[in-house]
A and B are shown apart, each in its own frame.
Chain A
Amino acid sequence: MRLYWQIAKNMWDQAVAYRLSFAIFRLRNLFWILTMYFLWLYVLPQGKVLFGYDQSQILTYILGGAFLSSLIMATRSQDIATEINDGNLSNLLLRPIGFLRYYFARDLGDKAMNIFFSIFELTIVFLILRPNLFLQTNPLLLLLTLIFSLSGTVLFFYFSVLLGFIGFWSTETWGPRFIFYQLLNFLAGTLFPLDIVPKPLYTVISYLPFPYLLYFPMKVYLGQLSTPEIIKGMTVSFAWTIILYVITREVWKRGLRVYTAQGR
């Protein structure tokens, strides 16, 4: 455990070493949040309800979603493909470290840094814009939000690792990752709450793993889901976690069979 703690800490230190680049990366993210924030603020003045959301709920969704994405979607596992293609994976294979645990520990270090910056950014946004936010006080819903957020973190990790494993078979790994992030923007509910789309489309999306990364934790926080909906969400999310875990293990085994340490 101490070993993985140290790996996470190293990742934090690495991010601190390049803090200007990191801060600018976060600043870019902030511009996107501002676009969505002001757009929703404009179309949803106080007292108006649109798509089942009032102003405080939608602004909470946008800003809360921005915070959650720094927990759930911050990752360093995009380095996996490079490690495989450069042959540097061999260094890791020779050490008494679990591959997935190593990368998860790195992710935790990166997430910690992203959360730190996210709190800083959102504090500034809050102090300047004074948004009308929805505060959840139900302890059960807060606990469920935390559980869904952690489950989303694990789901995202498996997705990201699987994309990195493409490196076993191809050097062209950035293209699939680029498409994945574009799909994620829509299907995870980063752009807008998914329940504003037509009902049939929403039903299809709700059986995919993506809504459980961001949309679902935020809906739970807003208290807009019934108990059966939460149970259904928990079942689908848990099932996808198991499926992705099995796929990841299998792809890892097959990948190692074709790994040639090319480049070393």
Chain B
Amino acid sequence: MLSLVRSGNEDYGFIQHREDSMKKYLKLWFVMTSRITQIAFVSRFGVIFFTFGKIVRFLFFLFFLVFLVGKTKLVAGYTLWEVILFFLTFNMVDIISQFLFREVYRFRSYIVSGSFDYLLTKPISPLLRSLFGGSDILDLITLFPLIGFLIYTLSRLEAITIIGVFFYILLLTNALIIMLAFHIFVLGLGVLVTEVDNAIWIFRELTALGRIPIAVYREPLSWVLTFIIPVGIMITFPVHAALGVLSFQAIIVAFLISGALLFGSLRFWRYALRHYTSASS
């Protein structure tokens, strides 16, 4: 009974411990990201070409959308700026998750080479280390202009309100929680069957279907993209919230689904860790 009741001092100690852990992981993330950035900038031309290539890809598709919607006026009932908002929202989710979870792309090599054993012996969470152990600064370079363009696009929408923008940001965060859950699931899959790269790419390509309004796809694909693969929740919901056409119940459902996915992925990760055989080391 006594063990269930914590004194004020114990509470303070518990919070202090959490804060120290947080500081430790933030410092670790910063150090590893700095190292990864230094490695990336060893290939300076590569950095320039890669960044330029990404910008070119973005601009070409944007040009195509502007050209197409400019001619048809509406696509699936959306105006040009609304269609652009879909495209930008997809890019935001894609770029931020690539920036944050870049270490997942390197996870397979840790498993295959046996280096994952080394991570398990460290006094840090293997999950956090495998998720955030070095973000890719190259993704961040393209993020800032994208945010600027997103703000401009939001300002061009007639139906925009402060509350709409608030829920847009909230649901964008929710989309990142879904991406987090998926990346945890992929890590678990990597531990069990060493399959990482293909799973990530398939999910990314599926998410990319959301770069245009999902209403464009015919049933049952449209339904699958909304409810089975939560592309609709990740991309369509934030846009609808910004436009003020998303119900409060839908927002609750979006958070329940992301919460369930995160919970499920964490359970799967624990299951995978219990069955890790360290076969490669």
Interface residue ranges, A against B (CB under 8 Å): 20-21, 24, 27-28, 31-32, 34-35, 38-39, 41-43, 50-51, 170-172, 174-176, 178-179, 181-183, 185-186, 191-192, 196-197
Contact at A197–B45, with CB atoms within 8 Å?
Answer: no
Is there an interface contact between B50 and A178, defined as CB atoms closer than 8 Å? yes
Tell me the nearest residue of chain A to B50, going by C-beta: A175
- Cross-interface CB contact of A179 among B52, B61, B64, cutoff 8 Å: B52
Give the complex CA separation of A42 and B222 in angstroms. 13
Smallest Cβ-Cβ distance to A198: which chain B residue: B67
Q: Nearest-CB distance from A198 to chain B (Å)?
A: 9
Q: B124 an interface residue at 8 Å Cβ cutoff?
A: no
The reply to whether B198 and A21 contact each other, CB–CB distance below 8 Å, is yes
Residues on the A chain within 8 Å of B9, using CB: none
Question: Is there contact, CB below 8 Å, between B48 and A28?
Answer: no
Write the nearest CB–CB distance from A173 to chain B, whole angstroms: 9
Main secondary structure on chain A at its contact with chain B?
Answer: helix
Q: What is the 8 Å Cβ interface bit string for chain B, positions 36-73, against chain A (1 contact, 0 not)?
A: 00000001011111101110110011011001100110
**Residues from chain B with Cβ under 8 Å of A39 in the complex:** 68, 75, 212, 216
Q: How far is the CB of A178 from chain B (nearest CB, A)?
A: 4
User: Which residue of the partner chain B has the closest CB to A176?
Assistant: B49
In the complex, what residues of B have CB within 8 A of residue A182's CB? 53-54, 56-57, 60
- How many Å lie between the Cα of A27 and that of B206 in the bound state? 10
Cβ of A244 to closest chain B Cβ, rounded Å: 21
Residues in B with CB closer than 8 Å to A174 are: 46, 49-50
Beyond A28-B202, A42-B76, is A34–B209 a contact (Cβ under 8 Å)? yes
Q: State how many angstroms separate the Cβ of B74 from the closest Cβ of chain A.
A: 9
What's the Cα separation between A178 and B55 when bound, in Å? 11
The chain B residue with its CB closest to the CB of A170 is B45
Closest CB of chain B to A170's CB: distance in Å?
7
CA of A111 to CA of B216 in the docked complex: distance in angstroms? 32
A41 → B minimal CB distance (Å): 8
The chain B residues found within 8 Å of chain A, CB to CB, are: 43, 45-50, 52-54, 56-57, 60-61, 63-64, 67-68, 71-72, 75-76, 198, 201-202, 205-206, 208-209, 211-212, 216-218, 221
On chain A, the residues within 8 Å of B205 by CB distance are: 27-28, 31-32
Q: Are A42 and B209 in contact (CB under 8 A)?
A: no
A179 to B53, CA, bound (A): 4
Q: CA of A41 to CA of B198 in the docked complex: distance in angstroms? A: 29
**Least Cβ–Cβ distance between B4 and chain A, in angstroms:** 50
User: Given A28-B202, A31-B208, are A50 and B53 also a contact pair (CB < 8 Å)?
Assistant: no
A192 touches B212 (CB 8 A): no
Complex-state Cα separation, A179 to B59, whole angstroms: 13
User: Are A191 and B202 in contact, with the CB atoms below 8 A?
Assistant: no
Inter-chain contact A175/B206, CB cutoff 8 Å: no
- Which residue of chain B is the closest to A48 with respect to CB atoms? B72
Q: Give Cα distance in the complex from A28 to B209, angstroms.
A: 11
If A38-B218, A192-B64 touch, whether A175 touches B71 (CB-CB below 8 Å) is no
Which of these, B67, B198, B209, B217, contacts A196 with CB under 8 Å?
B67
Residues of A within 8 A of B218 (CB): 38, 41
B51 nearest CB neighbor, chain A only? A175
CB distance from A48 to the nearest CB of B (A): 9
- B229 vs chain A, min Cβ distance (A): 11
Q: How far is the CB of A32 from chain B (nearest CB, A)?
A: 7
Give the residues in chain B near A171, CB-CB below 8 Å: 43
A15 to chain B minimum Cβ distance, whole angstroms, is 15
